[in-house]
Structure 1
């Protein structure tokens, strides 16, 4: 991380709290699910990028591969578990289904911890015009969703 950029606010807990609050907005939740289901986007990454945009922080485009690679440890497990949970929903008792949702949330939180880990190792700098959400949505061909994400701020 750039020595001129304070990182005391860039913690897993602050990202997690931001994510819970931001994702709780109906329009954001719908846009996130659209990004995930139709554009194969990663919601945790999108939330982390929005969080960095809110802090007016960015990283060089050359570091996108490192940021994407931070998802590697949990992405396949999360995708498989999510699919299994969805398929099992009608066959599971309500309590077991709730437990599976809690486990999925733990996987989501671990993925965010992995993202925070890479954020602390890449070069961050202040920016006047946040653009990480725009960049990510553009990479996925989901520019129209960036409009939704950018108009909602915390």
Structure 2
């Protein structure tokens, strides 16, 4: 005979896949802390999707035509070193907090929301956790909000942590 309580215990012990979005900012750090205290439990696996703002990306295509190769190469090397350092720090944070997971660097050619949503779908995540800067109404109307974009398009629950 099936024991419904035994089945419930097994369901709660099952491994959950979580996706945490980060850009290395304070809001992202708060989201990690909140997830650790209130969401993460033993057996979970966390994909940390790191979506940094790169200087070359912020320059835009029109500026890239005017930059000399040596300067561009120097900037790219600096950005690679910065990415390596950030990824190491993120992994150290996961290790220190005893969180099982891995770091994924978001494609810089995609919006952060797109990278998080694609990762959540591909990895079969049960939740997406993100921080929020709380941009003003005017800025949100002009540039949009990553958290709004994720909430509107996610196929799983989204936890937005406001610092």
Q: Which has the higher contact order (CA 8 A, sep 6+)?
A: 1
TM-score (norm 2): 0.32
Q: When you count strand as a share of all residues, which structure comes out higher?
A: 2
TM-score (norm 1): 0.33
Structure with greater Cα Rg? 2
